[in-house]
Amino acid sequence: MFQHKMNSKQNTVLVTGANGYLASWIVKKLLIEGHNVHATVRDIHNKEKINHLLEYGKKYKGNIKFFSADLIEKNSFDEAMRNCSIIFHTASPFKLEIKDSIKELINPALDGTKNVFSSADKVDSIKKIVLTSSVAAMYTDASECKNLINNEITELVWNKTASVNYQPYSYSKTLAEKEAWRLYKKQRKWELVVINPSLVLGPFPNATQNTSESINLLKQIGDGTFKIGVPKMPIGVVDVRDVADAHYEAAFNKNASGRYITSAYNTSFLEISKLLNSEFGDSFPIPKRPLPKWLVFLIGPLLNKALTRKYIRNNFNKDFRANNNKIQKELGINFRPLKQTLIESFQSLIDQKII
């Protein structure tokens, strides 16, 4: 454990997986607002992964203290949680290229939730937990939207189709969030609010040390992987800074309760690619044509193992719709324009020489 200045009179809060893509923006927001941040990372001695957070600690009025903690180790969050009033539990693996879904996705997501919430039960100062879940806990395939009221996902919807073998990331998020609500109902000490983002994009504070799937997606669009065309697969997109603001409001806004879909735009990989092409197409081989379905079937699984034929059938040329009325109305979140998010995402990868 080591720390940077500690003199703030604001709340002391815990952010798990603090050096992650989204978590870094949450930490920045908290420090700007003057809070004391207890930041857990797997290895506090890996300065490359936390240098940007150290810089935030020097630049902004809040204070940051680092702790080592591991999702699958019981009691490893106990020390970091002391004197904290709010927990932002963001730590959970997000990978699509995996060999063992139980070991790499499901156990860390589920055990991490159990371990963090178990530690919270032992700390009297904890008043609220803000959990980062995902719209993946609500659906697996865009084709499911047609069976929902108004053909759209709302906070009432739960994922019933993902499994260990089919879209295990979605399954891990579903299991972890359901476990969070189960543990919440067993106690009366702390409140639980859940943020359910779609695909998170926006500037990357530390892209060279981050393994976010968001980076991989933009890199593939820009490096020629999809130069012959991009599949017309639907996706929800939201700016990472708006998701950080959503977490902040979930923590400190008295109206916050339940789940919040945090998705700004119902779009597609084709539209994302076209928008990026209009800005960067002269310098990078960014596609603007759609791949025909037969070709997606042929090469999709070669580009990404998650693009199975079943997934392609259930998503290709389908409509994805998520209703974000609740978060706008209750938490006052206004979303940045999609084009701004995409341009600033891609530019940050250029600036950090990722692409």
Look at the alpha carbons of 110, 113, 115, 118 in this order and tell me if their dihedral is positive or negative: negative
Whether residue 327 contacts residue 262, with contact meaning beta carbons closer than 8 Å, is answered with yes
**Looking at the DSSP assignment, which residues form a beta bridge with residue 201?**
239
Of 146, 173, 339, 353, the catalytic one is 173
Whether residue 8 contacts residue 69, with contact meaning beta carbons closer than 8 Å, is answered with no
| Count of C-beta atoms within a 10 Å radius of residue 131 | 26
DSSP string, 250-316: HHH-TT--EEEEE--EEEEHHHHHHHHHHHHTTTS----SBPPHHHHHHHHHHH-TT--HHHHHHHT
Q: Cβ neighbours of residue 311 under 8 Å, at least 6 residues apart?
A: 141, 166, 167
- The tokens for 318 are 């389908």
Q: Identity (one letter) of the amino acid at 63? A: N
Residues 104-123, buried b or exposed e (16+ Cβ, 10 A)? bbbbbbbbbbbbbbebbeeb
3 state DSSP class of 61: coil
Q: Is 185 a catalytic residue?
A: no
Whether residue 85 contacts residue 126, with contact meaning beta carbons closer than 8 Å, is answered with yes
> What are the catalytic residues?
173
